[in-house]
Amino acid sequence: MGLYTRGKRKLYWLAFTPEPGKGQRFVPLRTNVLSQAAARAEEIIKNPFLAGIGTWEEELENWKYIAREMRTHTERTIEGTEGVARLFFNFIGKQPSKITREDARAFIQHVGAVGFAGRTPEVGEDGELLGVNSHATVITYWARMQGFFGWLMREDKRRDNPFEEGSLTGLDPSELAREDWVEMRVVDALIDACPRTDLRYVLYCGAKAGLRKDEIISSCHSWFNLDAHTLTVPSAQTVRGRRWRPKTKRKRVIPISATFHSFLTTEMSIRKDEDFVLYPEHNWKKYRWDFKRPLSKFFKAQGVKLNTHGLRHSFASNCLLQGYNLAEVASWLGDSQSTTEKIYAHLIPKAGVLTF
């Protein structure tokens, strides 16, 4: 527990634990006068609900600051949540304390049907509004806001979460179960048709090892143990002076299939150093290469509706379809078993060994 200052104006903040077993809270006291800050802090410690809830701009800034200080989210997640929150509060026109489930439902329906990019919604043959955003995009918006309001609840600033599961008619997160995945035979066909070695590496890492996009970009030669036929995603690494951590911040070991192993030994020339596998094409100063554009062009040319994360979903879905154990697949993905089961519950797991 204590007072500290932050920002150019040196405003005081209070850090304290409301009760044993609960996490630490960070409350802005909105003054740079120590005596005023101390008096306000004493009141809040006696009654945590006096911290109150500020405007959405203030609470969003508080959430961003705490997320960075506590390292609970990646910078990409923080930026994504901020963007969705700004869209939500500007669309609804209310402050956080006044938000209802009806507001949450109206926002999500707007995201699916109209969106915020000025695109024209598609209309089905029967006149039904099909919307401009995929189900996955709608769920992503919903999950961002669910997380933000969940934080407000943990901070004792709200009694309920308007974005809680079941509050939005017609939206089930488990339905994210994989509209965006393809069978392994399609993956193999894509690899065979791909003219570029670097993009084939991306396809292998995503669809045959389950790596996320950021993990593929940050992958190093030292991740691969070709003798043991394994790929190890570290819990943290520093390469070319840049520190990187995976989303889950945990180390995980993934088996390398025979076809992936053959590709690595014959085409990628995997070494034992700790440098990146992928390099930028035109700017040698850029320490990472984002392959989104060339990969999207390749998928479009092949007539496949897929993205990089869809490759990861393809890995998980094909593993479970071929009989791999749910707990094992979850460990390869770096997700909890409950999360994996929730998303892929439609697939029946059983013991097995990698064959693709």
**Residue 12 falls within a domain, yes or no?**
yes
> From CA 279, how far away is CA 269, in angstroms rounded?
14
- Say whether both 64 and 203 belong to one domain: no
Q: Structure tokens of 21? A: 């077993």
- Say whether both 194 and 324 belong to one domain: yes
> From CA 247, how far away is CA 35, in angstroms rounded?
41
**Residue 129 falls within a domain, yes or no?**
yes
- Say whether both 66 and 24 belong to one domain: no
Contact between 96 and 163 (Cβ < 8 Å): no
**Residue 72 falls within a domain, yes or no?**
yes
**Residue 356 falls within a domain, yes or no?**
no
State residue 346's pLDDT score: 61
Closest CA to 62 of 155, 170, 196, 162: 155
- Say whether both 70 and 200 belong to one domain: no
State residue 115's pLDDT score: 61
**Residue 352 falls within a domain, yes or no?**
no
**Residue 351 falls within a domain, yes or no?**
no
- Say whether both 190 and 328 belong to one domain: yes
> From CA 97, how far away is CA 157, in angstroms rounded?
8
For the domain that residue 148 is a member of, what is the CATH number? 1.10.150
State how many domains the chain has: 3
State residue 21's pLDDT score: 65
The pLDDT tens digits along the chain (356 residues) read 688 787 667 788 788 776 666 666 777 777 888 888 888 888 777 765 555 677 899 889 888 887 887 777 778 888 889 999 999 999 999 999 899 988 998 888 888 766 655 444 444 444 444 445 566 677 778 888 988 998 888 777 888 889 876 555 455 544 444 457 888 999 999 999 999 999 999 999 999 999 999 899 889 999 999 999 999 999 999 887 778 888 888 899 999 999 999 999 998 888 777 788 887 655 544 455 678 889 999 999 999 888 888 899 999 988 888 888 888 999 999 988 877 877 776 665 444 445 55
Helical ranges in 219-307 per DSSP H? 258-263, 292-301
Contact between 312 and 211 (Cβ < 8 Å): yes
**Residue 355 falls within a domain, yes or no?**
no
> From CA 332, how far away is CA 269, in angstroms rounded?
24
- Say whether both 334 and 189 belong to one domain: yes
| Largest Cα–Cα separation, the chain | 70
Helical ranges in 8-94 per DSSP H? 34-46, 56-70, 75-92
- Say whether both 228 and 306 belong to one domain: yes
> From CA 92, how far away is CA 128, in angstroms rounded?
25
Q: Determine the structural domain holding residue 117 and report its residue range.
A: 56-176
